[in-house]
Amino acid sequence: MSANNFYVYILVLTMGIMQTYSFFNRHFSGVDDLKSRITRLEHQIEQEKTKTQLAYFQAETIRQDVASLLPGKIKSKTDDYQIRNLASVLQIQDSMNIDLSKSELRKGKELFSNGKFQQAIGVFRAMIEKYPESQNIIEGYFLLSESYYQIEAMEDAIETIDVMISLFPESELTGFSLLRLAGIFIERKLPEDAKEILLTVQHNFSFNSELVAQSGQLLKRVE
């Protein structure tokens, strides 16, 4: 073999080796890249798992904290429904009580206006007994005391006014009942007692011009 042919052979062999290296390099380089991508994906999956577990732990912790704050444990959905249903029934009954007290108050007023004081007394007493928490209870007491006065049941009238003074000392209706009480004392020839009550009305109900005026007129009768 001549020197030229030898050099040509070496050159071709070298080029073949380089091409083969280049092929394998590209092939295994792609595999490595794929492995790298798989590794990154697995890492991301592990991160998401960690986040999910953390979120679940936090949610469970919050649930337990909230449960510990509840006044009682709800055993089942049925029990919960029954509790909520009972609360709804009580609210409805409460609303019905208020409406019925208004209805009975109107009935008592009508009887009172028609001069049927004895019947009105029965209505007002029943209303007070059945609906002691009603917002209409003060008016019920006031009209009850006036009904007693109209049938000349003075001791019952005084007793009812005394209850109003104890339960509703700041009510203007109590102020008018005090005027009635002062009038009863004037009729009984007890001017000093009447005067003391009238001065109390003027002092405690000075914001009500009608009460001040009427108490002033009655004071003239005892001075």
Domain ranges within the chain, ordered by starting residue: 1-73, 92-222
- The pLDDT tens digits along the chain (223 residues) read 555 555 555 555 566 566 655 555 555 554 444 444 444 444 444 454 444 455 545 545 544 544 444 444 434 444 555 555 555 554 555 555 445 889 999 999 999 999 999 999 999 999 999 999 899 999 999 999 999 999 999 999 999 999 999 999 999 999 999 999 999 999 999 999 999 999 999 999 999 999 999 999 999 999 8
* Backbone torsions φ then ψ of 188, nearest 5 degrees: -90, 10
Distance (Å, rounded) from C-alpha 212 to C-alpha 14? 127
Structure tokens at 74: 């709800």
Amino acid at 10: I
DSSP 131-153: -TT-TTHHHHHHHHHHHHHHTT-
Instruction: Tell me if 178 sits within 8 A of 200, measured CB to CB.
Output: yes
By three-state DSSP, how is residue 75 classified?
coil
How distant, in Å, are the alpha carbons of 35, 55, 129, 142, 160 from that of 48? 20, 10, 67, 74, 76
Distance (Å, rounded) from C-alpha 137 to C-alpha 104? 11
The pTM score is 0.58
Name which CATH class applies to 92-222.
mainly alpha
